[in-house]
Chain A
């Protein structure tokens, strides 16, 4: 049986599934229940400086979008960092860590962008026995208006500076949590690395308005007739998060920096995908906020079965396995030519492929007598839209043309050798082979 034991920047946990810094990790009661359910670790909900705690709104703090049967697809929140006294949080962290020494307890921090503020909080966290700290440079709402959270995370120089302060003032591993609300995720990641960060975690939530109440003419969630942008998370953001994780994993400047993957992780498969793209572990929030802590049981059994099936014996063997296959568009093989193929046995004759191709694409699907849908190879550019809109999984597939086979669309035979844009004749900047 594959071992799910995880070690992330020296922090050990029985599995790579941590709970992200968020409402589920705001207090001892929740975290104990999470550990009893089997979670490998938690990142404690963000602590602020000593003093009067922040306050939250007293109306709705979450908004959502749903799929069929009200399956929650995306969640948005305008909750701030912990609104409980610092000392209470610290005592609870200490108590939990004492009782669960095998679990990871990392503490999320967000204090003003002044060295003294960081110098003050780091030692008191260290005293709890916590395994590490995560710098919250990510929250896009509320705290950012006060110069914290994503207001720091959007300025690489600040990231580097604060990270350096922290590394100089604690022995604990420092994980820098990144905001996706930037132009290029690589810049803040590089800044974290320059500052000495042990790891980065991403993504934090995405700036968003989930919906508009068309009667009140107000964004949701609505507080007394008004709304504000909040942080978006849940299954809907996973593709964005996967790309950002991969970009950091394959960027030469940041390659090799440990990554804690966050963003819509809901199932074992999501976790495996994040790890394949370079995440050493994953953090989960929306999924437990939707279904409760018990889902970790499925994540543990699912990842374990899959690893057994594939012959992986440890989590570290999976991490980064797909990174070499993430490349730039210009290096994609233009001589890889496929054609859509419809399995007539599986086809249920709904005609969605036809509507999609005929109305919006390449007119490459023919509708024949008796609602028989066939691909016209002379028009098919293999765009995959028909595959994506077909309600029957596996009904439409892409067949790779063999080398030497005629592509009916271009009238040319498929070359045996790969060829990409860098050498394509239409590329004005093509690389000329050495004479």
Chain B
């Protein structure tokens, strides 16, 4: 039987196939050649460009845009990949509105930046559509490096290590590479299995062996890796989730948003994915927004995202917030959950929230409460480090690293979301992985990459 948006409970098939396709299609259609030339022409080729400074991977943005403008998208793509081998995914998922495009002088001047993200996608798509892989493996050094985690940090690290001639083995807990690119971000940001295609393209450099189903702390130990390899890079992200500790959390259909998103990303047929009629998402970050929007796109009638602090503390960007509200998500601020209620004692039926006040002593729940109907609840209050060997020094739930990614243990580097410093973004993870690889290369060979070139 075909369900509709008004069907109560957590059910699949609320929409027709055409609507699913439309809802989960590319958020931004790619630029065609003429559009790219016109968009590129708006770039002023700034001196010591603020966009480049704002990019965690320091892509020479004015240069690649000029290369597009002069009809050479392949060189443009190389300019991008030289700094960021996952430039294709970053073009799709980077919050450009808070990075390069926010820094663009035309954003400052006119509120209308050069479309850097879209131009990056135009260039990288152009080169990635061609064979062979544009980089080749360096002359073998005889060194072996273990990379834990096949997400953005691990992949960027592995690729750069292969470029420098090292043999790399990448271990990942899941059965598929990509990390959050594959399991964590909203589907409409990278449709058509782009994450998987990008991994395959990246591995085209050669010299990188993938081993799946290998989780650190579960059959895979840091000591073993240190023994078997010349260096170890840890880029396993934040596999755990923060606990909410609210009464009634055990009721059915109260779950972690990351699991819902991963399931959605791996689904071949979105119409079999169940979703509630009244969905409540708790949290204020990108994961919360992605879960809220995708619930709506799956056909939920009402989706409410509730964040315990004010708008100024929402980590989701303005663009993300506006996208959410445009898709019909209601955002409620300054409220925290106090109870998950259940009519039948088994499945969740509503959530009671208390309004909060951000005072000098921290967040305080007020006496005033309200209840929102909910047949499905997603918790998105942050991820946490898990499975990290106790020997590594951590601080604030992150592995402590130096600028070049060195941990407190010699021969072990770390980067990406699991390591300290920087925002938890794909682009930051890529920068961490790349820089750690260069530092590993220097440590193993005593040669800096610059000197070798």
Contacts and interface: CB of A to CB of B under 8 A. Distances in A.
A68 B38 contact: yes
A372 to B, nearest CB: 13
A371 B49 CA distance: 10
Interface string B41-55: 110111111100000
Q: By CB atoms of chain B within 10 A, which of A348, A354, A355 has the most?
A: A348
Contact of B109 (A348, A351, A355, A367): A348
Nearest to A354: B47
A211 to B, nearest CB: 12
A278 to B, nearest CB: 36
B442 interface: no
A349 B38 contact: no
B45 A352 contact: yes
Q: By CB atoms of chain B within 10 A, which of A348, A349, A350, A371 has the most?
A: A350
A392 interface: yes
A371 B103 CA distance: 12
Given A348-B108, A348-B109, A349-B108, A371 B50 contact: yes
B106 interface: yes
Nearest to A371: B50
B440 interface: no
B41 A350 contact: no
Nearest to B43: A350
A10 interface: no
A349 B50 contact: yes
A68 B50 contact: no
A354 B47 CA distance: 7
B106 A348 contact: yes
Given A68-B41, A69-B38, A69-B41, A351 B48 contact: yes
B41 A349 contact: no
Interface in A155-212: none
Given A69-B38, A348-B109, A349-B108, A391 B44 contact: yes
Interface in A350-390: 350-352, 354-355, 367, 371
A371 B46 CA distance: 11
Nearest to B109: A348
Given A68-B38, A68-B41, A69-B38, A348 B105 contact: yes
A349 B105 CA distance: 7
A350 B105 CA distance: 6
Contact of B46 (A69, A70, A352): A352
Contacts of A367: 47-48
Contacts of A392: 109
Interface in B24-79: 34, 37-38, 41-42, 44-50
A370 to B, nearest CB: 11
A342 to B, nearest CB: 14
Contacts of A69: 37-38, 41
A392 B37 CA distance: 21
Contacts of B48: 351, 367, 371
23 contacts: A68-B37, A68-B41, A68-B42, A69-B38, A348-B105, A348-B108, A348-B109, A349-B50, A349-B108, A350-B44, A350-B105, A351-B47, A351-B48, A351-B49, A352-B44, A352-B46, A352-B47, A355-B47, A367-B47, A367-B48, A371-B48, A371-B50, A392-B109
Interface of B: 34, 37-38, 41-42, 44-50, 105-106, 108-109
Given A350-B105, A392-B109, 16 more contacts: A68-B37, A68-B38, A68-B42, A69-B37, A69-B38, A69-B41, A348-B106, A348-B108, A349-B105, A350-B44, A351-B46, A351-B47, A352-B44, A352-B45, A355-B47, A367-B47
